[in-house]
Structure formats: structure tokens, C-alpha cells
Amino acid sequence: MNMQKFFELAKARGIEESQVQIGKSSSLSIRLFHREIDSYKVSSSQYILACGVYNGRFGSASTQKLTADAFEYLIDQIILSATYSEKPNEVGIFKGSEKYHPRNLFNKQLGQIPVEKKLATLREVEEAIYAADPRITDADGVSYSESESVSEFYNSYGLKLRQRTNHYAFVAGAVARDGEETKTYYDIFFDNDFSKFDKEKFVKGVVEKALKKFGGQPCLSGKYPTIIDHDVASSLIGYFLSSTIADEVQRGSSMLKGKLGQKIASRKLTIEERPLAKTLFYSYFDDEGVATQNKAIVKNGVLQTYLYNRETAKKDGVESTGNGFWAGSKIGTDVGQIFVKPGKQSFDEMIADIHEGVYITEVAGLGTGMNAQSGDFSCQAEGYMIRDGKIAEPLNLITLSGNLLKMLMDLKGFDNNPVLDSGGTSIANMYIKSMSIGGK
């Protein structure tokens, strides 16, 4: 599409400055069930997101209908949106950062591997799950998916940015039954280098984690030293980070208001945002066209910075941190890939001094059980007891409750085995001095 034409049309209609993002993506996914292809899905889609300043107000619009009249539709919507906005636009459209760090992490080979080979690997995964143990009655959600997307950024100041990415994922679940008991465990592996998928290791993890759950019971309600698995720790840290968003702070709905430069967590906590790290989650510009940058958010327990887009940065008299991302019809703030500094001990060493504690491996219902503003949370959980420094009997249908800030103050450390999860957070297993567990 001819973007210059969009900017000219917009200007002629009174939109002084504007920006346009075009996204195109395609995907493939195959799911097996009982050794048959249960679902096969392909897609190709595209969208345009546009925004601009009209009469000193910000307006935005989006469409997936890329027909000849798309530009006119977008321009009409931007004008409509700006006309009713009561918020003066303070920052306008961005002219561009001094330096960008573009890097091509697109893996060409992934698309060249025939679908048959990917399907064959998937079938092997399913077979291996069934073959692992007689108590496995179903392999569920066994699927392969891949997607490829390109996003382009243009604005009326001539800024042009482009990023192309791809990745694949294997997902599988094991359903194990023993008498009246049914247990499940699901896992995901993702990368963009197909050769990195270790089928045996993946299947072993899924199966073992399902089987180990048999006999799970609630423990007695109480406060326990608690180890939180990296996956769960990642979600909890994610909620904590939502309070570092400057917009929340400025509007008085963040528990971190007034805490910049203060100790808000144990000195064992160091959190960095590294959007430029060379992983699948690499991203070198945000939705305002600002170059992203690596930075510490929390260092040795002290809050280093809030996360800013251009508007909230101006309000606080600082520069945008490159965290401006669309949230509905306005530019909000979001977090890129996160690295939480691991500890030095192995998992076994870390739990060795726990006389009676709890190891939480999975939680459910955190989405509604979390009050992100106050940091209070309560959710369904499962895991194991820790007795005399060793993993003991499985726990099931318990609750994990706490307050994020208090939990991070009570942080005793992490083990030395961080995992980069599918949400773009690298974090190890987390040891908390004491947490409330609900059970019998």
C-alpha cells in the first residue's frame, strides 16, 4: 500500500500528523486426538492501525478490511475519535529515535521444513505419551503450530521501521487415570529453530508431571515456607510489573506510587527488561516508533524506574522508556521480555533447609484472584509438601494467598536454573519465607 497517499489524504482532511502500522501474519496448526488429525488450521490475515492528531486531539482507528476504501474509513474514524476526545494531546506523533538496533532473527529454515516432517514429529510425540505408562489414557491437545508475521511502522515524518518474526510451538497434555482419580498435565515448547525440539525430554516432562500428581490431597491450612515454580513465579512477577507502569502510578492506582528509588523487595530481587536480547521476544521499537532499550526495573530490591510511553514520560519530565504499546484505542504501556536474576544454589540445595514447607507447581484462577492494584491475591494451587528438605507427598486443591509486595519482601532467593517461558519472562524457582496456604 502507498503510505504517502495516506499521509497526504489525512493532511488534506486536517490530520496534521499521523502514523500507520500494517501487520500481516499467517499460521498453521495441527492437533491430533486418538492418533488422528483432529484439527488442521491455516490462516492469513492483515490489519492496519492508524492514529493522528486532529484539532489538537488524538484519534485512532483500525481495520482488517484492506480494500480500496480502507484509508478513507481510517481517516473518518480518526477524525470522529479525536472530535469527541476531551484530552488535549501533549506529545503528538514521534519524529524518531536517534538510534535503532534492528536485528533479523527470522528463521528462514522453519518455513522450508515440509509439513509432513512436522506432522511426523507430532505423531511421535503422541505415541511416546501413550507408550510412557499404562495409566496414561489420553494424550490431549497434542498440537503443532507455527506462525509468521511482519509488522511495518510508518509516520508522516518519514519514519519507517519493520520487523519480521516467526516461531513454532509443540503443545501436549497427558491425561492419567488410576481408579477414581484423573490427573492432567500440559506443557509447551517453543522456538524458531526446529532442531532445538527435544521430543524425548518434552514427553518425559509431561508424563512424569501428570503421574506424580496421584494421591494428591489438601494439606492443613496454615503458613508455610513456600517454593514457587518458575512458571507461577513468572505470572506473579508479571502482575507486579503492571504496577510499574507510569500511567497507573500517575492515576493513583499503583501500589508503587511514591516508591521510586526505595527498597520495595528483598535484596535478592533484580528484574531487568531486555527487549533487545536475542530471543524470540526481541523487539526493537514500540508502537510509537520509539527505540526500545534494556534496563533494570528493580535492582537488589530497589525500584529503579517506572515504565513510560511518551505521554506519561512527559508528565514526569523524563524520556519514554520505549514501552508505548496499543491498549484498546489508545497508546498504553506494556512490558517487553523480562529477566529475573537467578540465584546460585541448585533446587535441591535451596530446599534442603526447609523442615516443613510447600512447593507450588501450578496455579489456576490468578486472573480473577489477583487484585493488581493492591497486590492481594488468592488462587487455586497444587504441588507437593516439602519435608525435611525433600519433596514429599503431592498436594491438590489447595489455595495460595498473599500480597505481592509482602511476598517480594519475604523473598529468600531463586535457584540457579532460570527458564524463558512462552510469555517472554526468564525466571527461576522462587523461595518465599512464608505464605498462606488454604486446605483442610
Partner 1 sequence: MISKSLAMKVLNAALATGGDYAEIYIEETKSSSFTLENGKVEAVGGGLSFGAGIRILRGIRSVYGYTSDLSPKSLLDLAAKLAGSYDGERQIEVTSVKKQKVKIINPIVNPVLETPAEEKIAYLKECYEITASVSPKLVRIIDGLSSYRKKIEIFIAEGPVAKQFENFEERTRVVMTAVAADESGQIETSFKGPGRFEGWDYFTKVLDYKGAAKQVGEKALLMLGAKECPSGEYTVVIAKGWGGVLFHEACGHPLEASATARNLSVFSGKIGEQIASPLVSAYDDGSIPNEWGSNNIDSEGNPTQKNQLIKDGICVGYMVDRSNGRRIGMEPNGTARRQSYRYAPTSRMSNTYIAAGNDNPEDIIADTKLGIYVADFGGGSVEPTTGEFNFSASEAYIIRDGKIAEPVKGCTLIGRGDQILLNIDRVGNDLELGQGMCGAASGSIPVNVGQPTIRISKIIVGGRGGKLE
Restricted to residues 137-156, the positions that interact with partner 1 (CB under 8 A) are 137-138, 140
Q: Do the beta carbons of residue 60 and residue 81 sit within 8 Å?
A: yes
Beta carbon nearer to partner 1, 15 or 379: 379
- Phi-psi region for residue 81, left (φ > 0), alpha (ψ -120 to 50) or beta? alpha
> What sign has the CA pseudo-torsion 234, 235, 238, 239?
negative
Return d(Cα 385, Cα 402) in angstroms, integer: 18
| x/- track of binding to partner 1 for residues 15-34 (CB under 8 A) | ------------------x-
For partner 1, the closer of residues 183 and 310 by Cβ is 183
Phi/psi region, residue 158 (left: phi>0; alpha: psi -120 to 50; beta: rest), is left
Residues in 71-130 at the binding interface with partner 1, rule: CB under 8 A: 73, 77, 80-82, 84-87
- Among 2-10, 179-187, 192-200, 264-272, the segment contacting partner 1 (CB under 8 A): 179-187
CB atoms within 10 A of CB 440: 9
Interface mask toward partner 1 for 314-343; x: CB under 8 A: --------------xxx-------------
Nearer to partner 1, 65 or 162 (CB): 65
Amino acid present at 335? V
CA torsion, ordered 349, 355, 356, 362, to nearest 10 deg? 0
In whole angstroms, the minimum distance from the beta carbon of 238 to partner 1 comes to 17
Residues 375 to 434: which contact partner 1 by CB under 8 A? Answer: 376-380, 396-403
Nearer to partner 1, 335 or 398 (CB): 398
**DSSP states along 377-419:** EEEEEEEEEEETTEEEEEEEEEEEEEEHHHHHHTEEEE-S--E
Chain positions 156 to 175 lying near partner 1, rule: CB under 8 A, are 175
Residue 352 lies near partner 1 (rule: CB under 8 A): no
Instruction: Give me the least distance between CB of 78 and partner 1, in Å please.
Output: 9
- Please state the closest distance from residue 30 (CB atom) to partner 1, in A: 9
Candidate segments 133-141, 151-159, 280-288, 344-352, binder of partner 1 by CB under 8 A = 133-141
Structural contact between residues 22 and 47, judged by C-beta atoms closer than 8 angstroms? yes
Burial 350-375 (b: 16+ CB within 10 A, else e): bbeebeebbbbbbbeebeebbebeeb
Which residue in 4, 217, 221, 346 binds partner 1 (CB under 8 A)?
Answer: 221
Least Å distance, CB 295 to partner 1, is: 26
Distance (Å, whole) CA 390 – CA 354: 8
- Nearest distance, CB of residue 402 and partner 1, angstroms: 7
Instruction: Tell me which residue has cell 486531539.
Output: 57
Residue closer to partner 1 (CB basis): 98 or 180: 180
Residue 134 as a binder of partner 1 (CB under 8 A): the answer is no
